[in-house]
Amino acid sequence: MSKAKGARAERELFHMFYANGWQPIRVAGSGSATIPAPDLLVGNGSRVLAIECKSLKNDKKYVTKEQVKELREFARRFGAEPWLGIRFDNRGWYFLKHKDFKNSEKSFIMSLELARKKGLSFEDLIK
């Protein structure tokens, strides 16, 4: 995913949360920071979500185990729920927990099929 496409996806999700009464924050340099940091941090007064965003043209994406480990570590320290937000082109957003990914030796595999089976829609996530 290009940086521009990733930033557009993050901004889209940022505005979706804001429009639904949540307060979002985009974390500057989240992909290149030397300490764990999610792409978005959002809260509504009772829940806090740390979200790593991915935008896909195809139906499959590999996420390194290190990325997932860092998201979980940040969320633990911050007191947030760790989520991967995956935007499939022309199919919308799905949200998954790391335990729902298919495991390979060095990475986790996210797919449209898996997202449809185990993921949450945006509406279900913010309920």
Residues with a known catalytic role:
30
Token code pair at residue 66: 């290190």
Element (H, E) at 92: strand 92-96
Q: Give ∠ CA 124-64-122 in degrees, rounded to 5.
A: 10
Tokens (6 digits) for 88: 């499939």
